[in-house]
Amino acid sequence: MYIKKLSKNGQISVPLALKKKLCVNDGEYVYIYMEAGRLLISKHHEDVHLNKVIYRNGKFSIPTELRRMLKIYSNSLLSLEAHSKKGSISITNLDYIEDQGQLRNY
């Protein structure tokens, strides 16, 4: 698990280890969607109508509507975790979890 902050532009940098697990290269599009109160980023998805973002310079931009839904603001602490079986990266807003009375586990 990696802890990152969202930039002022709504971007999050992805550690190289997670990039390799996602098998994404600079300039490629990936799917980004909400599931079970967190964001998932996946290179492949059966629903082609989901939001897509481009992986550029080691970063993804999280769409504004998804940030609002998950209460992700600039400088929010985010947990990034790879899921090898799913071929995805999950992003959890740690600040939002703490606000809901749950404990941070990092």
Segment 69-91 mean pLDDT: 86
Residues 26-41 as b/e (b if ≥16 CB within 10 A, e otherwise) read eeeebbbbeeeebbbb
What's the pLDDT score for residue 53? Answer: 92
CA distance to 8, 18, 30, 49, per residue, from 80 (Å): 18, 8, 16, 24
pTM: 0.78
pLDDT-derived band at 105, boundaries 50, 70, 90: very low
Between 86 and 82, residue with greater pLDDT: 82
In the predicted structure, residue 104 carries a pLDDT above the cut 80: no
Q: What are phi and psi of 48, to 5 degrees?
A: -75, -5
Level-2 CATH architecture, domain 2-99: 3-Layer(aba) Sandwich (3.40)
- The domain ranges of the chain are 2-99
What's the pLDDT score for residue 44? Answer: 87
Which pair of structure tokens corresponds to residue 33?
């969607």
| pLDDT, tens digit (0-9, with 9 covering 90-100), for 26-64 | 999 999 998 888 899 998 888 888 889 999 999 999 999
